[in-house]
Each structure stands twice: as C-alpha cells, then as structure tokens.
Amino acid sequence: MKVTVTVNGTEYTRDVEPRLLLIHFLRDELGLTGSHWGCDTSNCGSCVVWLDETPVKACTVLAAMAGGRIVRTVEDLARNGRLDPVQQGFIECHGLQCGFCTPGMMMTARWLLDRDPDPAEAEIREVLSGLLCRCTGYENIVRSVRWAAEHPEATR
C-alpha cells in the first residue's frame, strides 16, 4: 500500500506492506537511523518519536497508521546547526554513556518541556518511567532535562 508521511517537515511516499512498523519505515525506508530499534516490545522507549505532536513508541505503531500524519524524529531536534537545549543538556550533564536510549529520552524530554517548561524532578522521572537506560544513567538524564529547563534560551 502507498503511505505518505511527513517526517521532519519533508513529505515521503513509499509503497510498504501494511504490517511494516513505523520504526522500520523510518530506519529502513527513509534511512533515518537516529531513532533506535531496541526491545521491540514497547518497554524500552529508545524508538520514541512524535506522531502528530505526541510521543509514541515507534515499534508499536504501524507505518500505515502514520499515513497522512506528521512524524518528528531526533534528527529534527537540532535546527539550523543549533542544538536543542535538551541536546545541550545531555552534553553538559553527561546524560548518555552508550547513547542507545538517548533519542527516545530526548524526544520525550522535549515533549515534556513543551508542555511544562519547569518540571519538578519527580515529574521528569515519571514521564521517563517508560524508557530504559541500560547504562543506568538515570541520575544524569534527569539532570540533563533539568539543565534544559533552566537554559531554555541555550540554543533554540
């Protein structure tokens, strides 16, 4: 079936099987490998992208369901060569070790900060509770998001 999805501002049309998952559409059909394919069971959250402004685990949604909709991936966080404050926060606070969970963490954090520019630490932990970091770097990830909240003008 033909599916047309607007990803990071560009419209893409591809002929895909209806069973194709969005994460594979992004990575294999479009070559956008920033979103990671992790647990494949909607537990780890490394595949989180935005679908019409709402974060979703892209391993648990079909590409067909995204047809006619707008997807935003981690590749779109930096704009015009300037990092998003969330990305800068992860650099400043050592918010990643191996980096595998980072795209999902950052897309979720950006969504949170757009809704609540000054989230308490408990709120950050709650929103990130469906994402796993196997380097166990949660402390620094939470600090990174707080850094972004405290530096909203950093780069955007």
18 binds another protein (CB under 8 A): yes
139 binds another protein (CB under 8 A): no
92-103 burial by CB neighbour count: b if 16+ within 10 A, else e? bbebbeeebbbb
Q: How many CB atoms lie under 10 A from the CB of residue 120?
A: 11
Ranges within 63-82 binding another protein (CB under 8 A): 64-65, 67
Which one, 56 or 145, has the nearer CB to another protein?
Answer: 56
The DSSP secondary structure of 20-73, one letter per residue, reads -BHHHIIIIIS--TTS----SSSSS-TTEEEETTEEEEGGGSBGGGGTTSEEE-
80: its two tokens: 């015009």
Q: Shortest approach of another protein to residue 40 CB, angstroms? A: 5
121 binds another protein (CB under 8 A): no
- Strands 10-15, 48-51: pairing is unpaired
26 binds another protein (CB under 8 A): no
Q: Shortest approach of another protein to residue 144 CB, angstroms? A: 18
The size of the interface with another protein (CB under 8 A), counted in residues, is 27
Q: How many CB atoms lie under 10 A from the CB of residue 8?
A: 20
Part of the chain binding another protein (CB under 8 A), chosen from 26-34, 42-50, 71-79, 80-88:
42-50
56 binds another protein (CB under 8 A): yes
Q: Please state, in angstroms and rounded to a whole number, the distance separating the CA atoms of residues 24 and 64.
A: 12
Q: Please state, in angstroms and rounded to a whole number, the distance separating the CA atoms of residues 12 and 73.
A: 14
| Binder of another protein out of 7, 48, 77, 149 (CB under 8 A) | 48
Question: Where does this chain bind another protein (CB under 8 A)?
Answer: 1, 17-19, 21, 40-43, 45, 48, 54-57, 60-62, 64-65, 67, 108, 126-127, 129-131
